[in-house]
Amino acid sequence: MRRALLVSYYFPPRFSVGGKRAYRFAKFLPEHGWAATVLTARPPPGERLDPSFAEGSLPAGDVRRDYLSEAELARMPRRALGSDGTLEAPTEAAPPIARRRGLARLAAEVRYVPVIGPNTGRVPALAVRVARLAREVGAEVIFASGAPWEAVLAGVLAGRAIGRPVVVDFRDPWSFGPVMATRPAWSRAAAALVERAVVGAAAAFTVTSEMTRDAYAERGIARRVECIRTGFDPDAAVAPRRGEAVTLVHFGNCYSERTLAPFVRALAAVARRRSLGPGAIRLLNLGRVAKSDLRLAEELGVSRLFEHRTVLPYAEGLGIVAGADLALLTGFGDEPHLLPGKLYDYLLARAPILAVSPSPEVARILDATRLGWTHAAGDAAAIERRIEDALDARAAGRPLVEPDHATLSALSARASAGALARLFERVTASHRG
């Protein structure tokens, strides 16, 4: 069996959604002739871990948790952990830098001086680590996934040093998108220059959505950019948990531009129109909740219908999603490029999906799988109608959706790993030639 080295800072059993992509590739690549060695980081001290993922479930897997050296681990500051066990993220968006003045603006801009990120200085040592491990395990190709962007830069440097082809993988856009939109123009321009150099030095460039692929192609950053979606694990056990109340579930954290406000407003309107109280309908958020959503629920008089819990172990949360009447999917403000990772969890659960997203790609996937609908955040009537449809379906004892299983199969991690394996075969063949 041929071998690939996957470099990803995040990896289970950490809760971070960023690690699930590398995990699923490591699990299913062996079915396509490629064993995987994973270079990842040990969880920070005190971080809550997800028991749903076990390294023993990786066939032919080899996970090395020395992305950070012992000295680097010792220097890591103890950062505040959220109630869900993950590092705290702001639930309210900070004012744009352009609106700040004086010392506040200067302080905001200074923190963006590192082009790669806060750990730019780690790149040389990490590149050495990647190169040594690739040689040790006999990897024919290096797959480096960002963010953090130090991973892709170190992967490219390591590949050049030892003569291995490198596939750079962007889970989200680097030089554009919601994160970069908050940064000063000079920082965005600098990041774009580094990004272009990294992509140009790689043997191949992969992204997770068609919208991101098309955006990079339009910018001329890469000769060829391929969309290889993350997919869902078709072997994951799903045990649906259905409650008495009609349940609308959001599985994940809300922060910054990610808000449940359109659903809270629709819930309030439907509850008022149908005289529904606790026990009849509820909106359940499994993860960090935005303070603005809590305030809105209180203003609209539906606080008792809006429940929230810390993020649950993946298997437990998936069971609640599978038993939900509607699984709620929200984008990141007006950002069209991001394909939320929880979409794949919802597809696995076969839950009816109600999405508020500006992404036409989300709409295409839901239409093709026949698993749900996408509406604009301002289309209150449509969102309310979907909630009422869920109420009527529960009362009649009939399913709300009839999924297209053949289309769903093409969106599995098994299919995505097959696409990645074929890409590995092309780049290694080209490298030998």
167 CB-near residues (< 8 Å, 6+ apart): 141, 142, 143, 144, 202, 203, 204, 205, 206, 420, 423, 424, 427
Reference 109, options 188, 196, 193; nearest CA is 188
Positive or negative CA dihedral for 174, 178, 183, 185? positive
Contact in structure between 355 and 373 (CB atoms under 8 Å): yes
Helix or strand or coil: residue 407? helix
Q: Residues, the chain, total?
A: 433
Backbone φ and ψ of 342, nearest 5°: -70, -15
Ordered by where they begin, the domains of the chain are: 2-100+120-231+412-432 (3.40.50.2000), 246-409 (3.40.50.2000)
How far is Cα 164 from Cα 127, in angstroms, rounded to an integer? Answer: 13
**Residue 226 tokens, joined:** 């391929």
Q: What's the pLDDT score for residue 83?
A: 46
Q: What is the pLDDT of residues 234-250, one digit of tens each?
A: 998 888 999 899 999 99
CB neighbourhood size of 54 (10 A): 10
Strand partners of residue 354: 328, 373
Angle at 156 between CA 194 and CA 426, to 5 degrees: 120
Residue that is written with structure tokens 């606790």 in the block? 278
Of 332, 329, 389, 338, the closest CA to residue 356 belongs to 329
For the chain, list residues with pLDDT below 70: 54-61, 73-119
Please give the Cα distance from 24 to 344 (Å, whole number). 12
β-partners of residue 353 are 327, 372
Residue 358 tokens, joined: 């500006």
Contact status, residue 173 vs residue 35, Cβ threshold 8 Å: no
The tally of CA atoms less than 13 A away on the side-chain side of residue 112 is 19
Q: Quote the pLDDT of residue 123.
A: 87
pLDDT at 102: 63
* Per-residue confidence (pLDDT) for residue 260, from 0 to 100: 94
DSSP 359-385: -HHHHHHHHHHTSEEEE-TT-HHHHHH
pLDDT, tens digit (0-9, with 9 covering 90-100), for 179-192: 777 777 887 888 88
- The pLDDT of residue 94: 54
pLDDT, residue 117, reads: 63
Per-residue model confidence (pLDDT) at position 105: 56
